[in-house]
Amino acid sequence: MEKIEAARRGSSTDAGAGFSLRSVVGILCMNAAILFWVGLNVATKVLYNTSNISAFEFSYFRCSLGLLMSYVYAKWKGIDVLAIPRVAGRDLFIRSSTAMFGFALGFWSLQLMSYSKFVSLTYVYPMITQIASYFILGERLTVYDFLGCAGSFLGVLIIETHSQKSSSTSNSEPAWAFIVPLVTAVFWAMGDVFQRKIRQHVHYVVSPMYQYLSGSILCAALGFVSTSYRGTYTIYTPRVFALLLLTAALGTAGTVMYAIAFQLEKAGRLSPIGYLTILYALVVGYFYFHDDLNVYSVVGAMLIMCGSFTIAVLKGCGFIS
């Protein structure tokens, strides 16, 4: 952590075009966040499939536990969680609100559709992040960025339109369900952009804390309304509590790694790496959730890799700018 703090206090605000230790640490943290979140999604899907807990209840517990864990860490490190400069207040509110709405909608999406389809649809968000970074942050877009977006989006389309899912969830999926992960992607992208914008003013642990705080308040209110309307109350067994603790730990660890990554590298460079989640989702969906894996899934995954991840690596190494 000391090395990360030292890198964060480096003289340059953004990583340069060439290969640097700062870029390497940012990319590694991004990959760690992805792995944590893959585990989070798997544990979440298992919890949904084996208990009667609602999305709002789940989100409330995860936000509350994440807030507690982040606060303990901040106090241990001596971080002042209330030291928010006025200049960053509005951007922090936007970052927390958009990410929190994406958080709640994302878990609803997992109830509506199969795991691999959920991941495929939501991963239009790195493209939205790159475009929003251009307009909001002034980050430069090159022809390579457009090629990466085109190749990755084509890969997502191939996976989505040609993969026949065998899970029971997809058989009862509403016709409008695809809209939910797409809206989720928009909220995630805006959370990415504004996290990058406030990085110089708000500590990378404090920013997610406000997201967890707003999320717990919203989900508590919506969960109360939902439970009262349905008249169904969750049975909290030891297994349910264990899964809730596991998802909170994975989610918090992923958020911290993700925030660190955006302290060290540009949003436009980090976001394409997030497409690795699709590859993990295909493997996990096939072996664990019994989603179909066919030649179209493989071709789509390769397009995503070639379209975004390869270009991000070439940029990091300084071969292209």
Asked if residue 81 belongs to a domain, the reply is: yes
Asked if residue 243 belongs to a domain, the reply is: yes
Residue 78, pLDDT above cutoff 50: yes
Pairwise CA distance, residues 214 & 94, whole Å:
11
Pairwise CA distance, residues 271 & 124, whole Å:
10
Asked if residue 14 belongs to a domain, the reply is: no
Asked if residue 292 belongs to a domain, the reply is: no
Hey, how many other C-beta atoms are within 10 angstroms of the C-beta on 230?
10
Of 235, 243, 219, which Cα lies nearest the Cα of 57?
A: 219
Q: pLDDT value at position 321?
A: 60
Mean pLDDT calculated for residue range 197-201: 85
Query: 170-192: per-residue pLDDT in tens?
Result: 456 777 887 888 889 899 889 88
Mean pLDDT calculated for residue range 288-299: 74
Q: pLDDT value at position 317?
A: 61
Asked if residue 283 belongs to a domain, the reply is: no
Hey, how many other C-beta atoms are within 10 angstroms of the C-beta on 210?
21
Asked if residue 151 belongs to a domain, the reply is: no
DSSP-assigned letters across all residues of 104-130: HHHHHHHHHS-HHHHHHHHTTHHHHHH
Asked if residue 255 belongs to a domain, the reply is: yes
Alpha-carbon torsion, ordered 210, 118, 137, 317, to 10 deg = 110
DSSP state letter for 274: G
Question: Which residue did the predictor score with more confidence, 88 or 100?
Answer: 88
Residue 138, pLDDT above cutoff 80: yes
**Which of 14-18, 46-50, 254-258, 300-304 bottoms out in mean pLDDT, i.e. has the lowest?**
14-18
DSSP-assigned letters across all residues of 239-260: HHHHHHHHHHHHHHHHHHHHHH
- Confidence band for 40, pLDDT divided at 50, 70 and 90: confident
SS3 for 158-190, per residue? Answer: HHHHHCCCCCHHHHCCCCCCCHHHHHHHHHHHH
Pairwise CA distance, residues 289 & 267, whole Å:
32
Residue 86, pLDDT above cutoff 70: yes
Pairwise CA distance, residues 115 & 110, whole Å:
6
Range of the domain at 198: 2-6+20-141+172-267
Query: Which residue's structure tokens are 């090395």?
Result: 3
Residue 78 backbone zone (phi > 0: left; psi -120 to 50: alpha; other: beta)? left
- The residues, any chain, with a CB within 8 Å of residue 302's CB and separated by 6 or more, are 155
Of 202, 220, 263, 230, which Cα lies nearest the Cα of 70?
A: 202
pTM as predicted: 0.69
Question: Average pLDDT, whole number, for the chain?
Answer: 76
Q: pLDDT value at position 318?
A: 63
Q: pLDDT value at position 8?
A: 38
Number of domains in the chain: 1
Query: Which residue's structure tokens are 């990319």?
Result: 27
Query: Which residue's structure tokens are 């989702």?
Result: 281
